[in-house]
Amino acid sequence: MARYEYHHRKPPRRRLRLSHVVLVLLALLLVAYPFFEAYHINITKTELVIADLPTNLKSLKIVFLTDIHECARFPQSRVDALVNTVNGLSADLVLLGGDYADEGKDTLAFFQNLPTLHARLGVYGVLGECDREELGTDLAPLAKAMTTAGVLPLINDVAKIKVGQIYLYIAGADDVLTGQPDLSAIAGQVRADDFVIFLGHNPDLLTAALKANGSDGDNHWFDLALFGHTHGGQITLFGLPLLGQLVPTLGNRYVSGWLTENRANILISNGVGTSFFPARLFAPAQIHLITLKKK
- The number of folded domains in the chain is 1
pLDDT tens digits, 86-138:
999 999 999 999 999 999 889 999 999 999 999 999 999 999 999 987 777 78
Q: Read off the pLDDT of residues 5-62 as tens digits, 9 standing for 90 and up.
A: 555 565 555 555 777 667 766 666 666 888 889 999 999 999 999 989 999 999 999 9
Residue 239 belongs to domain with CATH number: 3.60.21.10
Instruction: Show the domain range for 130.
Output: 43-294
Contact 266, 260 (CB under 8 A): yes
Q: Please check whether residue 231 lies inside any domain of the structure.
A: yes
φ, ψ (nearest 5 deg) of residue 216: -95, 5
Span 205-238, pLDDT tens digits = 999 999 999 999 999 999 999 999 999 999 998 8
The answer to whether residue 2 is domain-embedded is no
Confidence of residue 190 (pLDDT cuts 50, 70, 90): very high
What are the CA-CA distances from residue 91 to residues 111, 210, 213, 287 (Å)?
20, 29, 30, 12
Say if 29 falls within a structural domain: no
Please check whether residue 50 lies inside any domain of the structure. yes
Residue 9 within any structural domain of the chain:
no
Q: What is the CA radius of gyration of the chain?
A: 25
Q: What share of the chain has pLDDT > 90, as a percent?
A: 81
pTM: 0.90
Is 23 within the bounds of a domain?
no
Flag whether 17 is in a domain: no
